[in-house]
Structure 1
Amino acid sequence: MVLAAGDVYALLGDSDPGRSAALLFGVLRFVADAAGVVVVGALAFAAFVVPARRGAVLTADAFGATRIAAAAAPVWVLAALGSVPLSAADATGQSPGVVWRNLAALVAATEEPKAWLGVAAVAAVVAVGVRMTLTWSTTVLWFGVALVGLLPPVVVGHVSVGAWHDLATDAMVWHIPAASVWVGALVALRSHLRRRGSADRGQVVRRYHRLTAVCLVVLVLSGAVPGLVLSRGQFSGYAALLLVKVAVCALVVVGRRLLGSRWPLPVELVALGVALGASIGLGHLVPPAFTGRSASVHETILGYGLTAPPTAAGLLSGARPDLLLGLGAVLLAAAYLAGVRVLRRRGHRWAPGRTAAWLAGCAVVVVATSSGVGRYAPGTFSLHMVAHMSLNMFGPVLLVLGGPITLALRTLPPGLRAWLVALTHSRASRLVAHPAVASVVFVASYYLLYFSDLFGAAMPYHWAHQVMNLHFLLSGCVFFWLVIGVDRPPRPLPHLARLGMLFAVMPFHAFFGVILMNSSTVIAETYYRYLSLPWVPDLLADQRLGGAVAWAAGEIPMLVVVIALLRQWAAADRREATRTDRHLDAGRDDRLDAYNAMLADLAGRRH
């Protein structure tokens, strides 16, 4: 693929590091991606495809799949490390020898080498963790970590450049996990069938087909967005490779439907290997979007232009879809409504207030990320703070009042319900949901992000902006889950402790807003100077407005939380009083029974 591509560097005005260096980088990237895919897919196979686990310990079949991941992980580490200097050579046009002598400086100056260094670090952690894992919950944990390890080279690659790169990057965050689970699970399936023969072939193959059917839908839909963005409707070598990927997916779909269980899995494995090779080629070829119209400054940084100042109508109607958090909120709202419908069909009641709270919380996420608010949030600090507070305060308060875990436990099939229980009571969940950890993360994030260089370093990159938004949302959900959540946390707290936990963090939010309003230093000044929005002539005034937003928006949700907590406390007291009255009416008194038991025990000892 690299040899057939010709001189892709001259098209962009870059230097050529040499054909051997480009070829070696292509090979190493293929090996690294293939090994990472096998790790992710094998862990997905162990967690979600093989027959149900027995207790907390992996079954023999699941353990066998984790051994495949354990074998592939060191290959992933070594190939990723080898890709660091070669990606630096590819990005700078210097020979590998020159790059090696200046490796530290080149890695610091370019994005892709840093991405591969991050992949190597994640892969190393997974390699150690998978070798020690014996439980289902830790298998899921390493599966999630490995998924994250696949993303860095993608989100800093072609999809992160030029106009519409925000949509293309979000789409690839869906695309890469779906493709990886499909290909890697197929490798694990082949190994499983050779090891076990045909004893459980039907059940395992059916689960594999259900899993990969979902992956196929996600793969096709998510692949269309970056394909359209980067090809710009022009037929070229880049478009030809895209057609190869589409043809491979079509081949597998048609073959499955026509042949059913007689569809040969080796053919599917070869086809998906071709698709993986095409993906590597797409990462090397120059997309037509790079050789056409030059992107503006705003399109280069944001992915779109901000040509007019925000208005009230524009903030409501000027939508820019967020294919990660915005789409995720829509899918979660649909899943919640489906669960409520299942309960109603069974004749069970679900509180309408919970449904309203959940849908309102999802709506807050959609508005904060996909409306005009989300569109303008990266451009001005004040609107960024509006989106921040919506994702960190308003949305989570409503979401935790919806009781999604309780609804899921009442509607999911037994197998999925057991998975959910295992996840919510795992050691990782207990650590994240520890009151001290949740409180520190919830509060310290503000000060660490905005009062260091982290915010200014992250804002120019769409992927970093999405990581910030995701952190805001998750940290808020965990904190408010412990304080007023309908769902039972791993460590239930008495209402007085919840109130103390809330009062402990409230001053820090107020101080944060006050500090911003009185600050004389512009946060992320270089980033905002690059944007140079004409309707923001005074960056410091806009930042102080953002501080006022943080102060006011932090107080209102806290008041709502206090009211909700006090109502829950009163309701719990009423339930306890009702239970006590019922016991007394039945002639039972737990305290009297305990006292009589103590007297009887003392009398028995004397005799």
Structure 2
Amino acid sequence: MTATSVAGGRRRVVWPVLLGVALVAGVTAGAIGALMLDDALEVTGLRDPGPTTAYGLPFLRGAGEIAAIVTIGHFLFAAFLVPPQTSGVLDVDGYRAVRVGAVACVVWAMCAALLVALTVSDVSGVPLTDLTPLDVWSAAGLVETTAAWRTTSILAAVVAVASLTVLRWSWTPGLLIGGLVTLVPVAVTGHSSTGGSHDIATNSLLIHLVAGSLWAGGLLALVVHALRRGSYTDLAARRFSRLALGCFVAMAASGFINAAVRIDLTNLWTSTYGLLILAKVAALVSLGVLGWRQRRSAIVALQHDSTARRPLLRLALGEAALFGIAVGVAVGLGRTPPPPTRSEPSPAEVALGFDLSESPTIAAVFTDWRFDLIFGTAAVVMASIYLAAVYRLARRGDPWSKRRTICWLIGCITMLFATSSGLGMYMAAMYSMHAIVQLLLTIAVPALLVQGAPVTLALKALKAAEPNSAPGPREWVQSVVAAPMTRLLTQPWTALAILMVGVYGLCIAGVYDVAMSDHAAHMATIGFFLFSGTLFFVAVSGAGPTPGPMSTQRRVAMTLFALSQFVVAGIVVVRMQAVLGGDFYRSLRLSWQTNLLSDQRVGGVIVSVSSAVAMLTVIAIVAAKRTGCLRTDNLRAPTIDA
């Protein structure tokens, strides 16, 4: 048998392996869905939609989620697990991974589109065969879940089409982000998006899905690569092993938190929902054990002989089958009614995820804490990574500015306080608190983080790859810094325009209403505050790859102009006669919330006065520098050769 025939045989095994994992997930989900059908119909009061929907919906969802995992994993593989050519064009292994990801993304889009029809049938109790395309189209926007599947199908189709044009490595991280985004619409619906503590449940589920998709998808991509006898298998396995460990920790922590807010510990052994959670725990523990064995045997074997793929494949195929079962159980869990809660949640708990029965006080702002799993975790992780990089420089004897370290840490602490303290809680129910958080996250936090010069620190702390070897994290940072998109976004006028979208966009009643009433939109709004503010301060500080040097006078002028727009926006809000988000605020039925318009005007005054104070502060700093009263340690902006 020739080497060509062996390679061809291994390539022919690739798709059966991926289809087999999808089949395992679909069958597991379909079996659990069928077993739980009577209980689900009894709890919801819906009619039986017929066997096609009862069996087909969970099966197709399980198989479709494997397609999404394959998409994400192969884009991850092309972006970070194997190197491109020295020219930046994808090598053959990266190119193959992108093509497999594209095909899987098409399948994911088709499954999501079919799930629109099946979900309409499920929630209406009408058999699928009795529905016309017009019925499905007209009903798709009326139910949250069907709308989510429709959005998922569109997003997946866009990512699939975009992936067909990608030939250079620099675009693959964008494909990975796009693949992860397709998970969001459905993640913010279902059990986790309703009832008390749904903010924690939804955020923990998002972390769980992202970590699980990166872990399972990266594993399947590694299996495919090993079956094809691709290059750099040892490097890909080592990099994936580090990623898998982090994903395991994130999945375990987020899964525990999600389960804790959905079910009492006493119901774990006495309810079907609890037993399915225990089945997921058993699968996760088993996957952790297999991953540990991978690190101890398969990775070691590849380090000694880069062609020794048999131990890797033996363990990885077992992990892949377990992942298929775990995905099926997760889908079945979503079809299983959770045990009833002991008490009826208040209107505020239903809308926000937590109660706000007590009126806001200064003490409550500082003492009432509800950790934000997305932005609170991000603040802690950012501070930890920064300190680790500073420690690495210190061990090498390289100096690093204490002032910049302090700025970064204060920025992280402020971000944590703004999103996880009583301020972060009351911002969801009061315009004045929302205004304070917007100022902190758009101005204070980005300005402090940019002064920390994280890119320069990363380029100093990370080691450069050896000549003619695979690029590593330092080269990835350099590539992002030098990317045309980064240069466009950090162009001063572009950054200013994006900042103004956030400043004036929330003065529009419809935009503000959506940002407050929908949890996903609320989290996206917080993310936009941080993103737009960081872009602007990177552009005006000269700490990023701006298209050209800016004079001090121009930087100061742009900063003062931007801050002046906050003053104007605050005045606009003060003069408004209509209450922004009024219907949503009134739906919370908070006894202490008596005058919404007065609170809104207080918020407008806070925005205007705080922005004016910030302008005066900028002027004072500039004057102090000119008179020599203030000395700073200027770090050059990072370049691709830094």
Normalised TM-score (structure 2): 0.85
Q: Counterpart of 1:402? A: 452
How far is the alpha carbon of 1:520 from its aligned partner?
A: 0.5
Q: Name the CA shift for 1:482/1:23 in 2 (closer, same or farther; >3 Å).
A: same
Letter in 1 for 2:278: L
Q: Counterpart of 1:426? A: 483
Alpha-carbon distance in 2 for matches of 1:117, 1:526: 27
How far is the alpha carbon of 1:565 from its aligned partner?
A: 6.1
In the alignment, is residue 375 of structure 1 matched against residue 425 of structure 2? Answer: yes
State, as a whole percentage, how many aligned pairs show the same letter: 33
Q: Counterpart of 2:91? A: 59
Q: Counterpart of 2:514? A: 457
Q: Counterpart of 1:601? A: none
Q: Counterpart of 2:370? A: 320
Alpha-carbon distance in 1 for matches of 2:516, 2:322: 39
Q: Counterpart of 1:73? A: 105
Query: Which of 134, 146, 159 is equivalent to 2:192?
Result: 159
Judge conservation of contact 1:484–1:561 (CA < 8 Å) in 2.
no
Alpha-carbon distance in 1 for matches of 2:61, 2:201: 21
How far is the alpha carbon of 1:124 from its aligned partner?
A: 1.3
Q: Counterpart of 2:613? A: 556
How far is the alpha carbon of 1:566 from its aligned partner?
A: 6.8
Letter in 1 for 2:258: P
Q: Counterpart of 1:222? A: 254
Letter in 2 for 1:254: V
Judge conservation of contact 1:404–1:487 (CA < 8 Å) in 2.
no
Q: Name the CA shift for 1:403/1:205 in 2 (closer, same or farther; >3 Å).
A: same
Alpha-carbon distance in 2 for matches of 1:18, 1:336: 56
Judge conservation of contact 1:438–1:478 (CA < 8 Å) in 2.
yes
Alpha-carbon distance in 1 for matches of 2:123, 2:493: 44
Alpha-carbon distance in 2 for matches of 1:70, 1:212: 23
Q: Counterpart of 1:546? A: 603
Q: Name the CA shift for 1:401/1:200 in 2 (closer, same or farther; >3 Å).
A: closer
Letter in 2 for 1:151: V
In the alignment, is residue 524 of structure 1 matched against residue 556 of structure 2? Answer: no
Letter in 1 for 2:387: L
Alpha-carbon distance in 1 for matches of 2:626, 2:213: 47
In the alignment, is residue 439 of structure 1 matched against residue 496 of structure 2? Answer: yes
Q: Name the CA shift for 1:210/1:86 in 2 (closer, same or farther; >3 Å).
A: same
Query: Which of 334, 343, 346 is equivalent to 2:396?
Result: 346
Alpha-carbon distance in 1 for matches of 2:622, 2:386: 24
Query: Which of 221, 237, 241 is equivalent to 2:276?
Result: 241
How far is the alpha carbon of 1:398 from its aligned partner?
A: 1.0
Judge conservation of contact 1:484–1:565 (CA < 8 Å) in 2.
no
Alpha-carbon distance in 2 for matches of 1:171, 1:129: 29
Q: Counterpart of 1:107? A: 140
| 2:228 counterpart SS class | helix
| 1:537 counterpart SS class | coil
Judge conservation of contact 1:85–1:99 (CA < 8 Å) in 2.
no
Alpha-carbon distance in 1 for matches of 2:159, 2:89: 19
Judge conservation of contact 2:432–2:606 (CA < 8 Å) in 1.
yes
How far is the alpha carbon of 1:488 from its aligned partner?
A: 4.7
Query: Which of 187, 200, 207 is equivalent to 1:174?
Result: 207
- Greater Cα offset, 437-446 or 500-509: 500-509
Q: Name the CA shift for 1:330/1:36 in 2 (closer, same or farther; >3 Å).
A: same
In the alignment, is residue 3 of structure 1 matched against residue 60 of structure 2? Answer: no
| 1:239 counterpart SS class | helix
Q: Name the CA shift for 1:53/1:315 in 2 (closer, same or farther; >3 Å).
A: farther
Deviations 1:53-109 (A, max 9, x none): 523222222112111101111111111111122223333444443574443443332
Letter in 1 for 2:490: A
Q: Counterpart of 2:306? A: none
Alpha-carbon distance in 2 for matches of 1:183, 1:147: 13
Judge conservation of contact 1:400–1:485 (CA < 8 Å) in 2.
no
Judge conservation of contact 1:88–1:99 (CA < 8 Å) in 2.
no
Letter in 2 for 1:239: G
- Greater Cα offset, 494-503 or 507-516: 494-503
List aligned pairs for 1:288-307, cutoff 5 A.
Answer: 288=339, 290=340, 292-307=342-357
Query: Which of 316, 323, 330 is equivalent to 1:279?
Result: 330
Query: Which of 222, 236, 239 is equivalent to 1:207?
Result: 239
Alpha-carbon distance in 1 for matches of 2:261, 2:599: 33
Q: Counterpart of 2:225? A: 192
Query: Which of 150, 159, 183 is equivalent to 1:117?
Result: 150
Judge conservation of contact 2:75–2:175 (CA < 8 Å) in 1.
yes
Please give the root-mean-square deviation of Cα atoms over the aligned residues, in Å.
Answer: 2.2
Q: Name the CA shift for 1:17/1:394 in 2 (closer, same or farther; >3 Å).
A: same
Alpha-carbon distance in 1 for matches of 2:138, 2:600: 34
Alpha-carbon distance in 2 for matches of 1:549, 1:380: 13
Alpha-carbon distance in 2 for matches of 1:173, 1:191: 26
Judge conservation of contact 1:401–1:485 (CA < 8 Å) in 2.
no
Q: Name the CA shift for 1:558/1:232 in 2 (closer, same or farther; >3 Å).
A: farther
| 2:114 counterpart SS class | helix
Query: Which of 550, 563, 571 is equivalent to 1:514?
Result: 571
Letter in 1 for 2:381: L
Deviations 1:538-578 (A, max 9, x none): 1110111111111122223344445556778999xx99xxx
| 2:506 counterpart SS class | helix
Deviations 1:145-190 (A, max 9, x none): 1111112101112111111111111111211111111111122112
Alpha-carbon distance in 2 for matches of 1:131, 1:397: 39
**Larger-Rg structure:** 1
Judge conservation of contact 2:140–2:147 (CA < 8 Å) in 1.
yes
Q: Name the CA shift for 1:101/1:60 in 2 (closer, same or farther; >3 Å).
A: closer
Q: Name the CA shift for 1:279/1:495 in 2 (closer, same or farther; >3 Å).
A: same
| 2:517 counterpart SS class | coil
How far is the alpha carbon of 1:435 from its aligned partner?
A: 2.1
| 1:387 counterpart SS class | helix
Normalised TM-score (structure 1): 0.89
Structure 1 residue ranges without an equivalent (≥5): 576-607
Judge conservation of contact 2:492–2:546 (CA < 8 Å) in 1.
no
Q: Counterpart of 1:37? A: 69
How far is the alpha carbon of 1:419 from its aligned partner?
A: 0.2
Alpha-carbon distance in 1 for matches of 2:507, 2:123: 31
Query: Which of 269, 276, 279 is equivalent to 2:320?
Result: 269
- Greater Cα offset, 124-133 or 487-496: 487-496
Q: Name the CA shift for 1:567/1:79 in 2 (closer, same or farther; >3 Å).
A: farther
Judge conservation of contact 1:484–1:564 (CA < 8 Å) in 2.
no
| 1:17 counterpart SS class | coil
Alpha-carbon distance in 2 for matches of 1:212, 1:567: 50
Deviations 1:201-243 (A, max 9, x none): 3332222212211111111111111111112221322222222
Alpha-carbon distance in 2 for matches of 1:487, 1:564: 21
- Greater Cα offset, 519-528 or 237-246: 237-246
Judge conservation of contact 1:160–1:169 (CA < 8 Å) in 2.
yes
How far is the alpha carbon of 1:497 from its aligned partner?
A: 3.2
Judge conservation of contact 1:495–1:569 (CA < 8 Å) in 2.
no
How far is the alpha carbon of 1:373 from its aligned partner?
A: 0.4
Alpha-carbon distance in 2 for matches of 1:249, 1:305: 33
Q: Name the CA shift for 1:341/1:72 in 2 (closer, same or farther; >3 Å).
A: same
How far is the alpha carbon of 1:258 from its aligned partner?
A: 4.4
Judge conservation of contact 1:482–1:492 (CA < 8 Å) in 2.
no
| 1:132 counterpart SS class | coil
Judge conservation of contact 1:159–1:169 (CA < 8 Å) in 2.
yes
How far is the alpha carbon of 1:287 from its aligned partner?
A: 1.4
Q: Name the CA shift for 1:10/1:561 in 2 (closer, same or farther; >3 Å).
A: farther
Letter in 1 for 2:539: L
